[in-house]
Amino acid sequence: MSSEKPHLNLVIIGHVDHGKSTLTGHLLFLTGHVDERKIRELEELAKKTGKEFAKWAWILDTYKEERERDMTIDLSFFKFETKKYFFTLIDCPGHRDFVKNMVTGASQADCAILVVSAKQGEYEAGTSLAGQTREHIFLAKTMGINQIVVAINKMDTVNWSQERYEEVKQGVSKLLKMVGYKVDKIHFVPVSAYYGDNLVKPSPNMPWYKGPTLIEALDTFEPPPRPVDKPLRIPIQDVYSITGVGTVPVGRVETGVLKVGDTVVFMPPNKKGEVKSIETHHVRIEKALPGDNIGFNVKGIARAELRRGDVCGHPTSPPTVAEEFTARIIILYHPTAIGAGYTPVLHIHTATVPVRFAELIKKLDTRTGATIEEHPSYLKTGEAAIVKLKPLKPVVVEKYSDFPPLGRFAIRDSGRTIAAGVVIDVKPAKIGK
Ligand code: GDP
């Protein structure tokens, strides 16, 4: 399936229970990626267990099991095609760690479907101060996802009401605008993920809606730029040891080009090896470009020497391990206030490490970016700031201006996203030979 169509990485985001799994499962079915027999099986099971609404969401579970049985290189992704694009669904909803993974998954996504339920009470919960509709919009923007389609879901529960659609559209537009999305370029598609309205075919239940179906809206996305001229960076997602092949790291090429025969280095472990082969979606390729999700066999490194969160590059321009870095952040949520010394968890590309707020340098006006206060003693929800952060374990951090996907991050604590930001400057760590 390594088609000639351009490749886009997609994430499905939105508040819990707004229908992300249902929409994903149904979309995979309608685009021909699940067979009728499987669906009938799931329908039977759903009837028997009295959980009829669950059949679409179960598609995701079934796929996951199949993938786990499949011992070939697992990229952990779902795929589907539209007229114009080849979509890779990264980090499917329904995974146990979805919210956590949203942070790292989103760092690799080119685009997103934001699912917002129109059902009475649900839309309101999602957009409340603690709601995930709000949280995910904020994260998506910070993580550099510039293209987004909003699926206003469960229209069947509100009588296919145009009025309710407009209300939800306006509310969500406001949140999108607040973080800097250009709302006039965003499609808001009223759908029923369960019944399939407006997913692929225009819905007879909503004749008042004249816009594109969800799948047509996905085709209005633009392919992102692919920085082939920059040094190579591949954040590692997983490392496999495959019998008869050897060590196989898996990840997405963010910048640069990887070729068979290249000598590569993995940071922070500082291990070098030679690339013997490269695969994408089970197809062998000679070179991998930005945006390609690959598994590659490296000679000279044992599986145990590498881990998720390491970054692969060429020895001529190795990934930067940070001693400290300066960043611009926005506090999304903190129950009290953040002072120097606070030690939450940094999520950057595929890495997760503890990080300490070493210094609060200045507080900024969120709208203009102007300095409001030098060396503030604490930061609160909604405030923006420039801070110095110190990772407590070795981790690769790059300047956002050099390598955007490796220079934006989220900060989490006790299962909540506290802040997100971009890296302005990095003080490299000394790496022993
Ligand atoms: P997720 O947590 O966002 O992945 O949400 P799910 O896909 O698991 O859906 C949550 C609940 O909403 C389930 O009971 C679904 O059957 C139900 N649901 C999802 N989409 C629709 C829809 O279009 N209409 C109705 N009536 N229910 C839906």
Query: Over the stretch 342-355, which tens digit does the pLDDT of each residue have?
Result: 999 999 998 999 99
Tell me which of 187, 218, 249 is where a domain ends: 218
> Within this chain, do residues 211 and 287 fall inside the same structural domain, yes or no?
no
Structural domain total, the chain: 3
Q: Above 70 in pLDDT, residue 77?
A: no
Classified as helix, coil or strand, 44 is helix
* Range of weakest confidence among 201-205, 336-340, 377-381, 412-416: 412-416
Answer yes or no: do 209 and 307 share one domain. no
CA of 18 to the centre of ligand 1 (A): 6
Is 224 inside a domain boundary? no
CA atoms within 13 A on the CB side of 356: 10
- The model's pTM is 0.70
Q: Note the pLDDT tens digit of each residue in 368-399.
A: 567 899 999 999 987 889 999 999 999 999 99
Where does residue 374 rank: exposed (0-12), middle (13-18), buried (19+ CB within 10 A)? exposed
> Does 20 fall in a domain?
yes
Domain carrying residue 375:
322-428
DSSP SS3 for 202: coil
Residue to mutate (ligand 1; options 20, 22, 191; most atoms within 8 A of CB): 22
Do both 43 and 161 map to the same domain? yes
Shared-domain flag, residues 306 and 330: no
Residue 128 resides in a domain: yes
**What's the pLDDT tens digit per position in 175-234?**
999 888 999 999 999 999 999 999 999 999 999 999 999 999 999 999 877 789 999 999
Judge whether 186 lies within some domain. yes
The pLDDT of residue 432: 62
Q: Is the dihedral of CA 370, 186, 88, 6 positive or negative?
A: negative
- What CATH number is associated with residue 66? 3.40.50.300
Q: How many helices (H) and strands (E) does the chain have?
A: 8, 22
Could you tell which of 15, 16, 17 is best to mutate to test the pocket of ligand 1, judged by most ligand atoms within 8 Å of the CB? 17
The top-scoring range by mean pLDDT among 36-45, 68-77, 146-155 is 146-155
Most confident option among 124-128, 271-275, 277-281: 271-275
CB-based pocket (< 6 A), ligand 1: 14, 16-22, 53, 57, 93-94, 153-154, 156-157, 192-194
What pLDDT is stored for residue 221 in this prediction?
Answer: 96
Instruction: Decide which of 287, 313, 339 is a domain's last residue.
Output: 313
| Res. 267 pLDDT band, cuts 50 70 90 | very high
43/149 same-domain check? yes
The lowest-confidence range among 89-93, 131-135, 415-419 is 89-93
